[in-house]
């Protein structure tokens, strides 16, 4: 279970990197007025986004664990 969870989180991180590269490529093509090539990337971007959303939905939400409180040591008073 833990190995599977780790693998899914790793795939999610990989998908985020892939999406970042695809979006950068899309923006570059659009700025270069290569609209046909940019439109061809839209299908890849949408497929990666769908996979990312499905994977994120299958992962448990991050825990609401509160950090343990700590005490700051007080200075000793000199008399």
Between residues 67 and 8, which one has the greater pLDDT? 8
What is the DSSP annotation of the chain?
-HHHHHHHHHHHHHHHHHHHHHHHHHHHHHHTT-HHHHHHHHHHHHHHHHHHHHHHHHSPPPP-PPPPP--PPPPPPP-
User: Is the pTM for the entire model greater than 0.75?
Assistant: no
Q: What is the pLDDT of residues 17-68, one digit of tens each?
A: 999 999 999 999 999 999 999 999 999 999 999 999 999 999 888 776 667 7
Least confident among 5-9, 10-14, 33-37: 5-9
Cβ proximity of 52 and 15 under 8 Å: yes
């Amino acid at each position: 279970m833990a190995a599977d969870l780790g693998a899914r989180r790793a795939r999610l991180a990989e998908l985020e990197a892939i999406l970042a590269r695809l979006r950068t490529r899309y923006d570059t093509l659009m700025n270069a007025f290569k609209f046909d090539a940019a439109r061809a990337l839209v299908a890849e971007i949408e497929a990666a986004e769908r996979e990312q959303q499905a994977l994120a939905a299958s992962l448990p939400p991050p825990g609401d664990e509160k950090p343990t409180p700590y005490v700051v040591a007080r200075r000793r008073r000199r008399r």
